[in-house]
Amino acid sequence: MVRKTSRSVTSLVSTAAVSAVLSFAASTANAALTTYTSQSAYLGAVGATAVDTFNDLDIEPYDTPFPRTAGDITYVATTGPGNPRAYGASDDDVDWYLSSSRRTDAITFDSFGTPVAGAGGFFWGSDIAGYTVFAPYITVTATDSTGATLTYTITDPVPSSFLGFVSDATIVSLSVATGDQLGADGYGIWPTVNDLHLSVAAVPEPGTYAMLLAGLGLLGWTARRRPGRATSRLA
């Protein structure tokens, strides 16, 4: 009876270890995208972040794919599918933004040189001259390394309209578009971005690694014990 009880306890411990490891693996695989409409809330979720201000731009065309950097993080900005050119935009020729050449084109940020878990920025619309204009809405889409995609629509966006995405995995692309909508003046609206935020992927806490390693160790111990038990039963 004592031996049976000992084996039962060992079995329960082994089962718990297996469950913990499988649970950890599942939480890693089933990543989720979360949106933040407040810059402070986004920064609270990601901690430090790198920012591309676009203040090196001007009112002129830039062929894309367009290599850029946000702090130490390299990335690529692309406009399309209609016209692969980006334009600088500004309301005061001091604070510069990134816009597209064709209003129906999207601006996409991808090819991050460092894995990022968070991406966001300020998104709104501008007119053909690059000045801020009222837009009924603008859509921003993020895709992460698990294939999960989330699209968020900002209603009545203005230059202070912030949106950020955070993934449990890593974000592989972020795109913004205004579609074929027209402003109140009947003219087109171009997608416009300022202060692109890129935040590096979070490193799991040491305790998480310890739990995973402990679970794997128990799995290995259980695997070694099973042949021994089978042999003793045959004997």
User: What does the alpha-carbon distance between residue 61 and residue 37 come to, in Å, rounded to a whole number?
Assistant: 30
pLDDT digits (tens, 9 = 90+) for 136-172: 999 999 999 999 999 999 999 999 999 999 999 999 9
C-alpha–C-alpha distance, residues 49 and 32, integer Å? 20
Quote the percentage of the chain above a pLDDT of 70. Answer: 72
Q: Which of the four pLDDT bands, split at 50, 70 and 90, describes residue 220? A: low
- The pTM for the full model equals 0.74
Distances (CA, A) of 72 to 46, 114, 116, 193, 199: 16, 8, 12, 20, 11
